[in-house]
Amino acid sequence: MSLQRRLTLYLFGLIIGGGVSYWIYGKRITSGAWLPEHKTKQRLVSTLVRATPQAERSMATWPTDLEGVRLGIASATVVFSESIRRNDSIYYALDGTVAGKQARFVIVGLRDFDSDSTATLWSIDTP
């Protein structure tokens, strides 16, 4: 078998394999919805239901509320290098825009989803 024929068959295999993969997995291949940052933001948006008293005072001066923070999470960036992991909880640091201003907010969620699946806004500050 000549090199030309081998390369042709290899190319056909790549095209057929890529087509079958896209047909099976669809948009999941290119969407990035399975990446850790997207999954973390998805969890925080759906479970953020309360704030600490300090965070409520900060939101009052901002001015914003939990719904505004929830909306800001979608476009925020999770800073994993500055997030803190404890034995029972995870403090996620996020940089984003809340009510038109740049913000650094910290949201706490428990590691064990079975005991408590809610997240708490720990703090909101300017970066």
Predicted pLDDT of residue 29: 67
Range with the largest mean pLDDT of 3-12, 24-33, 43-52, 61-70: 3-12
User: And the tokens for 88?
Assistant: 């029972």
Could you tell me what percent of the chain has a pLDDT over 70? 91
In DSSP notation, 97-120 reads EETTEEEEEEEEEES-TTT---EE
CA-CA distance, 74 to 63, in Å (whole number)?
A: 19
The pTM score is 0.73
Residue 16 has pLDDT above 90, yes or no: yes
Strands 89-98 and 101-110: antiparallel
With contact defined as beta carbons under 8 Å apart, do 105 and 94 qualify?
yes
Q: pLDDT category, 39, cuts 50, 70, 90?
A: confident
Question: pLDDT of 66-125, one tens digit each?
Answer: 888 888 898 899 999 999 988 888 999 999 998 888 989 999 988 776 667 788 999 988
Residue 13 has pLDDT above 80, yes or no: yes
Phi, psi of 63 (to 5 degrees): -90, 135
From residue 40, give the alpha-carbon distance in Å to each of 17, 24, 59, 113: 31, 25, 22, 13
Single-letter amino acid code for the residue at 15: I
Predicted pLDDT of residue 35: 78
Predicted pLDDT of residue 114: 66
